[in-house]
Every structure is written in C-alpha cells, then in structure tokens.
Amino acid sequence: MFVGCATSDASEDALPPGAEGTLPPEALVDAGQPTDASAPDREAERPLVCGDAGFCETKLPRSNVGEPLSLRSVWAVAESDVWSVSADGLVLHYDGMSWSVVYHGYHPLYAVWATATDAWAAGEHGLLLHSHEGGTWTPIATSHTETYRAIAGTSSEDIWFGHDSGADHFDGTTLTSHPYGVPNFLLTSMAARAGFGAYAVGYVKGAPPSNRAFPVPHVPYIFDLKPEGISNFNPALQNSTSFVPLATVVTDAPEEERRIFLAGYWDGGWHLDYSYATFGNSIPVIQNTMVVVGLEFSGVQDNRYIEDPSRPPPTPPLFPTWGKNWNDIRIALGVGSYVYWDGAAFTLQSLDNMGNSFVPRTLFSVHENATNRWLVGDGFALKGPAL
C-alpha cells in the first residue's frame, strides 16, 4: 500500500490514526521545568556523577509533572547533535552542552534515528514524527495504528520503520508498507548498514509447555528488508526453537555467514539460557558457553522460580548491542559492563560502576559515533568516549 508522505511544512490537520492527542509545536510543554516553579529541583540535590572510564551523567529535563524520564532510544549523529525519545512521549535533543525538549506528544515513543539533515521518532499507535533541517516536528500519516518498535536506515532516502505485522519503507518521498507474512510475529530489533542491507529481527511466541523442564517453543526469524519486498533471510534459523533474538548488528563482513550478529536468549521453560547466535544463509552457529558476572550463559537458573511455581519466570535481559564490524561488537549487560566479541571469542569488559552515587537502572539503548558513546535508560543519559 502506498501512502503519501507529509513534508516538513505539513499541517497538523493530517494526523495519523491514533495520534490525535499529539500537541502541536507551538503548544510545547517544557518538560525540563517542574509544574510548580517554586518546587525544588530534586536532580540538583546531588552533583552529576562521572566514572573512571570517562562516562558522565548528563542533566535531563523532567516530565511535565516533575518525574524522571525513561529514555527508550538514542541516536548520536555528532558530538553536538544527539537525539533521544522517552516513554513520556518526548523528543529530546542534545547540542553538546545540554538536553532540551523539542516535541511533546501524548503517546510513548520507542525509537529514534537521524542523519545530519533528518530526524525521525516513532512509537505507540502508529505515531511517526519527522523533522527536516532542524525544522518543525511533523506527524506523518501512516496506514495503520500499530506500535513502532524500531527504526533502521542507510540514508535519508532509505529508512525502515518496524512494527509487529510489517515494516514501512521511506524512500525520501513516499512511505510504503510491507508485510512480513508471519502471523503473531513480535518484532524485537532492526538494523541496517549502507551497502549491506537492512534487517528486522523477532520471533513468534510459543505456548508454555505443561512441563516447565521443557523449552518454550518460540520460533525466531530474521527478515531481509528491500524496497521491492520483505523476505525470510535465513529459514534455517527457525530450527533454533526457543531462541529469542533481542538485538542485531549488520556487519561489514563480505561473507554472508558473518553478515548478521544476533544477541538473545534461550527460553528453557524453568530457566533462561542467555546465548549469542551468528549466522548467514547457512545453519546458525550458536555461541553459548560463557561465564559472565557469575551467570553461566549456557544455563542461567532462577532457583526461586523453580521452587515456587507461583513466581513469575525470570526477566530476560534487553541486550542493547552495537558494533563497527564483524570483529568489534559489544553486547551491554547493564550500565557497568558488556561482553566484547573480537571475531573469535567473547570477553567481559567493564565501564566501572560510575561511583557510589549512581544507582544502576534499566539500560534501554546504546549508540556511538566517531567521538562519543551514549547509554540511556530509566532516568539517565550517560556520555562517554567512543571505543
């Protein structure tokens, strides 16, 4: 289906379905200010923390009711051009000195992607936002109200916006919807690299087995995204039932078997097996024998869950993953540590604990450019040197 794409000077009258509650730019709420001007700034009660590895907290605006922001995605174009979005519906920009709120909508936002000229944000109810050359943020009409979970692109004329039933492609003029053709698919990640393509990753959730000693039969997928259509990149991956891919990197390897790097976990029913998989159009190669932070990646168990059937299953990690090439990939385990893949083996690396004042919180996204790396999550945005 072809849908006309609004330009940067489009009217707010053409809001996409589900985005009716979005505030126009002239009605922005400065989420960096408490609603009561006399209320104390709780963030100012302590200094921002820096760690020995050179990572420092940056001062974030707060929600319009004075609460910390939950940042769900970050994209660093340059040292003075960084974008983020929050579960509060905010689009934020960092100019090299401070964060500011540039758009405030009513729907949560989960993904952001940008170039030096264009910035995109997307989230619940099919809300898709675009800003060109630093201009007005404009809602773009879409053909659905599904939640966007990821954005990936190679240029301003080749961008993909992912939701559970398909992906929408923007060619610089038109937004075109492409279905995956897999019922009940759940998108977890997208990635793209100029010259090597764009890909969407996720799985079909399996029904819990009656005996929790058996793995949950999830079915993983990775789709090759092309403007002419979407195809199953590696059908052999579907044989790796119970594997849940959470993040992906498109590498610069010329061999297809090293083109894609996946990070995810095995859902073993009564335990979680955290693992990594790398594959191309051949049988997947599974890497799953590591010991990291006291957790054996080939068999992580939550004994409380085993002993008490009424307890919920262990919460799997998010595994934000980034990399420059096949032998330089990092999988974040949290704010303070990550696993490094050098093309042959995994090793545990540390970013230090940011001192005693920084309380670890959920890490949602990592991105770096040539000079800086950013880590964002619940109530924080950490800036540090690129690796």
**What are the 10-residue block averages of pLDDT along the chain, 387 residues in total?**
35 34 34 34 66 85 89 97 96 96 93 97 96 93 95 97 98 96 97 94 90 86 95 88 89 80 82 70 57 35 59 75 87 81 79 60 91 93 89
Structural contact between residues 21 and 105, judged by C-beta atoms closer than 8 angstroms: yes
Structural contact between residues 189 and 199, judged by C-beta atoms closer than 8 angstroms: no
Q: Which amino acid would we find at residue 37? A: A
pLDDT at residue 232 in the model: 93
Q: Compute the distance between CA of residue 324 and CA of residue 330 in angstroms, rounded to an integer.
A: 9
Q: Compute the distance between CA of residue 228 and CA of residue 178 in angstroms, rounded to an integer.
A: 9
pLDDT at residue 251 in the model: 87
CA 172 to chain centre: 23
What sign has the CA pseudo-torsion 183, 150, 382, 290? positive
Report which of 151, 175, 124, 176 is spatially closest to residue 19, judged by C-alpha positions: 124
Report the CATH number of the 2-385 domain: 2.130.10.10
Q: Compute the distance between CA of residue 169 and CA of residue 171 in angstroms, rounded to an integer.
A: 6
pLDDT at residue 342 in the model: 84
Burial classification of residue 104, based on how many CB atoms lie within 10 Å of its CB (0-12 exposed, 13-18 middle, 19 or more buried): buried
CB-based burial, 148-180: b 16+ in 10 Å, e otherwise: bbbbbbbebebbbbbbbbbbbbbeeeebbbbeb
Angle at 249 between CA 274 and CA 269, to 5 degrees: 20
Residue 378 DSSP symbol: B
**Continuous H helices in 212-352:** 303-307
Q: Compute the distance between CA of residue 351 and CA of residue 342 in angstroms, rounded to an integer.
A: 17
SS3 148: coil
pLDDT at residue 175 in the model: 96
Report which of 318, 357, 363 is spatially closest to residue 336, judged by C-alpha positions: 363
pLDDT at residue 304 in the model: 58
Q: Which amino acid would we find at residue 345? A: A
What order of strands is seen across the sheet that includes strand 337-341? 321-325, 328-332, 337-341, 346-350
**Continuous H helices in 267-334:** 303-307
Q: Provide the CB-side half-sphere exposure for 16 (13 A, CA).
A: 27
Containing 103, the helix (H) or strand (E) segment is strand 99-104
Q: Compute the distance between CA of residue 172 and CA of residue 374 in angstroms, rounded to an integer.
A: 28
What is 36-68 written as a DSSP string? STTS--GGGGSPPPB-TTS-EE-PPP--TTSPP
pTM of the model: 0.83
